[in-house]
Amino acid sequence: MAGGGSSRGDEGKKKARIEIIPLIDVIFFLLATFVLFTLSLAKIQSLPVQLPVANNAPQQNKEDDSVTLQVSSHGSYFWNKELISPSEIAPRLVHYKGSVQTPRVLISGDYLAKFGDTVFALDQVRLAGIDQVSVDTHPHGTGR
């Protein structure tokens, strides 16, 4: 009977088992969720950009005829370091476009220039029909 008593003690104790199938199901669920979430974030938005083309012709030694239009923090504008009023921008741009074969404008701002004033200058350049516009991303002192 000693053997019968020992089998009774073994029946009361159950061995712990790790079930692998539910673990695989959870891992696949997490993987699928991560993939779907990542794909939903990948909405690509782009702007059309015209890249410059290399010109192999030799550069002629002519002076730069581009214009720098600077916006100050006080809402005033500088045309090649000359203080002008906002109402003078449009006529100067039209005259500049008519007098130069390839008009180029650089828009820059001083350290505290307001975004709205800079957009106004950019709109005036666009309304004048000048296509070659650059925006200086490094702030400068007023009138420099």
User: pLDDT tens digits for 7-23?
Assistant: 555 566 788 888 888 88
89 within 8 A of 68, measured Cβ to Cβ? no
Q: Mind listing the pLDDT tens digit for each residue in 52-101? A: 887 765 555 455 688 888 888 888 898 988 888 888 888 999 999 888 88
Domain ranges of the chain: 67-135
The pTM is what? 0.53
55-61, Cβ contacts within 8 angstroms, sequence gap of 24 or more: none
Q: Which fold has domain 67-135?
A: Nucleotidyltransferase; domain 5 (3.30.420)
Nearest Cα residue to 130 out of 88, 102, 89, 91: 102
